[in-house]
């Protein structure tokens, strides 16, 4: 592989890292939002739950923003095609996501049950819907998405909104929601005591078991979906467009696993993480469970990536126009500069994020929430 191809693969891996960061960090906040009305029965309980993630949700959300920015910078064709193709879904994702900052910030500013009730529902919706969409978008990649390009690379999406809600995608969406509910529950356990802790503990186990069942189901189901193969390309590490390749459809998406059996460790990590997180929740070891849950996310997203590689956005209406690591990336110069920036700043981000969590460590008490005028 030449430098360009290596840079493309590195960015594919980095994108995986950012997506896992998004799933873990945004996923846990979304999970707390989604389960807010279940685990928190009183206003004070809900405020405790919100204040557990209160100092962190803002920083965590940047994983999402950075994920979007990184796709834009490293794989502009994927960013352009996916964001415009999934139009209505993207709007749903956006409209629910923009309720979140406002929900967190404004909910507790007025002491009125109706006001808080509205924002609680907004937080539930803005927690659950984006995680379903996030998973469903991944699920759709296995079916392919109906798009093609003009001579000048104008993209056309020819599918409907409802086609994106096919059964496999819905399953992937619920898997993503249950994993984030599990992580949200573990996060609440980390910071809460008493009844709140116990409800979160029960929910973490249920959500984890549901996630395991769905992940297993997806593993069997994927055998029934036809996979894609690159038949001819201008070459690896050569600047190219999707108009210059041919793609065949047949077999399954598991060929990479057949060729490299060690890859089976990735889904295994997913199962082990989920099972471990469930057991840890049972044993009330929520911090351990959180880390195991993060491992589960690595396994789940890693499995999907490993199955699809080198495809990133397969086209169902014209498979030869599918977007791959090789044909949709930025130029070598951009990729190299961005690798440099990521190499410096991703470790820095992990360092100060860890510091922020360490500073705010410990349980959030009901008294503190009620007395602190800055609390949510």
Residues 312-331 that bind other proteins (CB under 8 A): 330-331
Q: How far is the CB of 374 from other proteins (least distance, A)?
A: 5
Rg for the chain, CA atoms, rounded? 21
Percent helix, strand, coil in the chain (nearest 5)? Answer: 75, 5, 20
Told to check if 371 binds other proteins by CB under 8 A, we report yes
Told to check if 370 binds other proteins by CB under 8 A, we report yes
3-state secondary structure of 3: helix
Told to check if 62 binds other proteins by CB under 8 A, we report yes
3-state secondary structure of 237: coil
Told to check if 224 binds other proteins by CB under 8 A, we report no
Q: Following DSSP, what letter does each residue of 60-99 receive, concatenated?
A: HHHHHHHHHHHHHHH-HHHHHHHHHHTHHHHHHHHHHHTH
Told to check if 57 binds other proteins by CB under 8 A, we report yes
Q: Which residues 146-175 are close enough to bind other proteins by CB under 8 A?
A: 151-157
Q: Which residues 69-108 are close enough to bind other proteins by CB under 8 A?
A: 69-70, 72-74, 76-77, 79-84, 87-88, 90-91, 94-95, 97-102, 104-106, 108
* Tokens representing residue 229 in the block: 């193969």
- With contacts defined by CB under 8 A, how many residues of the chain interact with other proteins? 83
**Residues in Cβ contact with 113 at an 8 Å cutoff, skipping those fewer than 6 apart:** 43
Told to check if 3 binds other proteins by CB under 8 A, we report no
Q: How far is the CB of 228 from other proteins (least distance, A)?
A: 21
Cis amide prior to 310 (ω within 30 degrees)? yes
Told to check if 241 binds other proteins by CB under 8 A, we report yes
Q: Which residues 348-367 are close enough to bind other proteins by CB under 8 A?
A: 349, 352-353, 356, 359-360, 365-367
CA distances in angstroms from 139 to 99, 169, 232, listed in the order given: 25, 4, 26
Q: How far is the CB of 214 from other proteins (least distance, A)?
A: 28
Q: Which is nearer to other proteins, 157 or 221 (CB)?
A: 157
Told to check if 240 binds other proteins by CB under 8 A, we report yes
């Amino acid at each position: 592989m030449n430098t360009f191809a290596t840079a493309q693969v590195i960015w594919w891996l980095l994108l995986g890292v950012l997506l896992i960061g998004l799933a873990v960090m945004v996923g846990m906040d979304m999970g707390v939002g989604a389960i807010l009305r279940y685990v928190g029965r009183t206003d004070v309980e809900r405020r405790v739950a919100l204040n557990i993630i209160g100092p962190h949700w803002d920083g965590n959300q940047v994983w999402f923003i950075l994920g979007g920015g990184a796709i834009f910078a490293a794989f502009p064709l994927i960013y352009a095609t996916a964001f415009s193709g999934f139009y209505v879904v993207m709007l749903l994702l956006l409209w629910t996501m923009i309720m979140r900052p406002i929900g967190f910030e404004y909910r507790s500013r007025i002491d009125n049950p109706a006001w808080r009730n509205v924002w609680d529902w907004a937080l539930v919706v803005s927690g659950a819907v984006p995680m379903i969409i996030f998973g469903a978008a991944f699920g759709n990649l296995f079916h392919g998405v109906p798009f093609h390009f003009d001579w000048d690379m104008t993209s056309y999406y020819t599918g409907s909104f409802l086609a994106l809600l096919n059964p496999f995608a819905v399953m992937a969406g619920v898997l993503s929601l249950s994993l984030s509910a599990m992580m949200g529950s573990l996060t609440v356990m980390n910071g809460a005591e008493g009844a709140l802790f116990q409800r979160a503990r029960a929910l973490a186990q249920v959500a984890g078991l549901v996630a395991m069942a769905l992940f297993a189901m997806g593993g069997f189901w994927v055998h029934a979906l036809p996979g894609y193969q690159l038949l001819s390309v201008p070459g690896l590490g050569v600047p190219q467009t999707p108009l210059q390749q041919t793609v065949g459809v047949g077999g399954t998406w598991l060929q990479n696993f057949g060729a490299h059996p060690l890859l089976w460790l990735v889904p295994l990590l997913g199962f082990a993480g989920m099972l471990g997180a469930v057991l840890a929740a049972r044993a009330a070891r929520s911090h351990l469970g959180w880390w195991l849950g993060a491992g589960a996310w690595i396994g789940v997203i890693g499995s999907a990536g490993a199955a699809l590689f080198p495809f990133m956005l397969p086209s169902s209406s014209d498979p030869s126009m599918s977007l791959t690591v090789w044909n949709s990336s930025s130029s070598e110069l951009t990729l190299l500069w961005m690798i440099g920036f990521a190499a410096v700043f991703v470790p820095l981000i992990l360092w100060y994020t860890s510091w922020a969590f360490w500073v705010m460590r410990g349980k959030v008490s009901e008294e503190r929430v009620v007395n602190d005028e800055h609390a949510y």
